[in-house]
């Protein structure tokens, strides 16, 4: 079961990060005309983010239990909460249209990058 959860987790990470970064650069290149198609990808990004969270939580519960997880899992949950809030802002901005989306993404991209690096650090090094 762990291998299946891990496969879905990694697929979610690739889907979320790839769609977020790649889609944004494509959108920046084609401008407002490409936004209606891009806006549909936002929901796939959200689904990927939710799959990352659900499978990560399931693997943590399987390995450590959820009553007294290691410090790095607690930190990862805190980062995941922030990333979830950012994803909610992302979806809301996409619903408001191209200009609102581009304004929001200017702030979201650096925050996503910090969150992504923090999660990679926690997942690889498992501090504490």
Residue 68: alpha-carbon gap to chain centroid:
25
The rounded percent of the chain whose pLDDT value lies above 90 is 73
Mean pLDDT across 58-65: 94
Q: What is the pLDDT of residues 18-30, one digit of tens each?
A: 877 777 778 888 8
Mean pLDDT across 62-80: 93
- Round to whole Å and give the CA distance between 36 and 48: 20
For residue 21, the model assigns a pLDDT of: 75
| 11 has pLDDT over 90 | yes
Cα(first)–Cα(last) distance of the chain, in Å? Answer: 26
Phi and psi (nearest 5°) for 26?
-65, -45
Mean pLDDT across 70-85: 95
Looking at the whole model, is its pTM more than 0.85?
Answer: yes
User: Per-domain residue ranges for the chain?
Assistant: 2-125
- Round to whole Å and give the CA distance between 99 and 105: 10
Mean pLDDT (the chain, rounded): 92
């Amino acid at each position: 079961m762990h291998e299946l959860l891990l496969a879905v987790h990694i697929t979610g990470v690739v889907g979320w990060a790839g769609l977020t970064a790649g889609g944004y650069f494509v959108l920046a290149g084609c401008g407002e005309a490409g936004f209606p198609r891009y806006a549909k990808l936002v929901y796939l990004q959200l689904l990927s983010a939710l799959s990352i969270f659900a499978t990560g939580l399931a693997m943590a519960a399987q390995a450590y239990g959820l009553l007294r997880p290691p410090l790095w899992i607690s930190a990862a949950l805190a980062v995941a909460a922030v990333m979830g809030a950012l994803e909610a802002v992302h979806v809301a901005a996409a619903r408001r249209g191209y200009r609102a989306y581009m304004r929001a993404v200017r702030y979201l991209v650096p925050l996503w990058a910090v969150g992504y690096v923090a999660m990679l650090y926690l997942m690889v090094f498992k501090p504490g």
